[in-house]
Amino acid sequence: MPRSFLRPDGPPIALIAKGWDVTELAGQLHNPGVWNRHKLRTQAYQTPHKSSSDIWVRFRPWDEVLADQAHCCDEHVSEWYPVVRDIPAVIPLIDQAVEIAEAETLGGVLITKVPPGGHIAPHVDRGWHPEHYRKIAIQIAGNNKQAFCFENGTELRPETGDVYEFRNQQIHWVTNDSREDRVTLIVCVR
């Protein structure tokens, strides 16, 4: 039975591990050309993710997304996006996330960046994909002036190399009151 680090009645976020080596991926993410190739999340009208940048590493095939954008999170099978060739260091980190989660299936994989002074506005992630998969996050760049917050008052301030599981079925948001980017690799597993 695959384990979850979140108890059903417990906090919606839990630290799993510290000190994962993310330096190689962090270096590959300095290439500006790998960011924001797919802007659906960050540029939609009234999106909570307006100030953030992202990289779609793995998700529903892009032609299927384009064919019906409003339902892009309905049931589907994820595939790798071409960007993975430019950031190969993401693969061993994804493998480690699958292993620590004792997961059998890999869904979408996303890298998000919230710049200094930026934020992700309060929201709930809805649809088949967020509801079907568990979310394992690896902090590629993080410090204690950045926070992942939930409506019930729970928050986590992950440092670079921290790994955690979270639920996005309740209202959550992200703040970055530091002078550095906040970069997160989110691996969806089941």
Separation CA 71–CA 103 (nearest Å): 26
Minimum distance of Fe ion from residue 168's CB (angstroms) = 4
Q: Which is nearer to Fe ion, 3 or 126 (CB)?
A: 126
Task: Give the contacts of 73 (CB within 8 A, at least 6 positions apart).
Answer: 60, 126, 127, 128, 129, 130
Contact track, Fe ion, 112-131, x by CB under 5 A: -------------x------
Distance CA 104, CA 51 (A): 33
| Distance, CA of 109 to chain centre | 7
Quote the strand ranges of the chain, DSSP E: 13-17, 53-59, 79-80, 106-114, 119-123, 134-141, 146-150, 155-156, 163-166, 172-176, 182-189
Whichever of 47 and 168 has its CB closer to Fe ion, that residue is 168
CB of 126 to Fe ion, least distance (A): 10
Q: With contacts defined by CB under 5 A, how many residues of the chain interact with Fe ion?
A: 2
- CB closer to Fe ion, 58 vs 135: 135
- CA dihedral of 53, 123, 18, 21, whole degrees rounded to 10: -20
- Contact with Fe ion (CB under 5 A): which of 4, 47, 168, 178? 168
* Residue 159 binding Fe ion, by CB under 5 A: no
**Intra-chain end-to-end CA distance of the chain, in Å:** 11
Reading the block at residue 147, the tokens are: 């926070």
Q: How far is the CB of 148 from Fe ion (least distance, A)?
A: 9
Of 36-44, 73-81, 161-169, 175-183: span binding Fe ion (CB under 5 A): 161-169
Q: Output 141 or 174, the one with its CB closest to Fe ion.
A: 174
Q: How far is the CB of 123 from Fe ion (least distance, A)?
A: 6
Q: Nearest distance from residue 112's CB to Fe ion, in Å?
A: 9
Residues that bind Fe ion (CB under 5 A): 125, 168
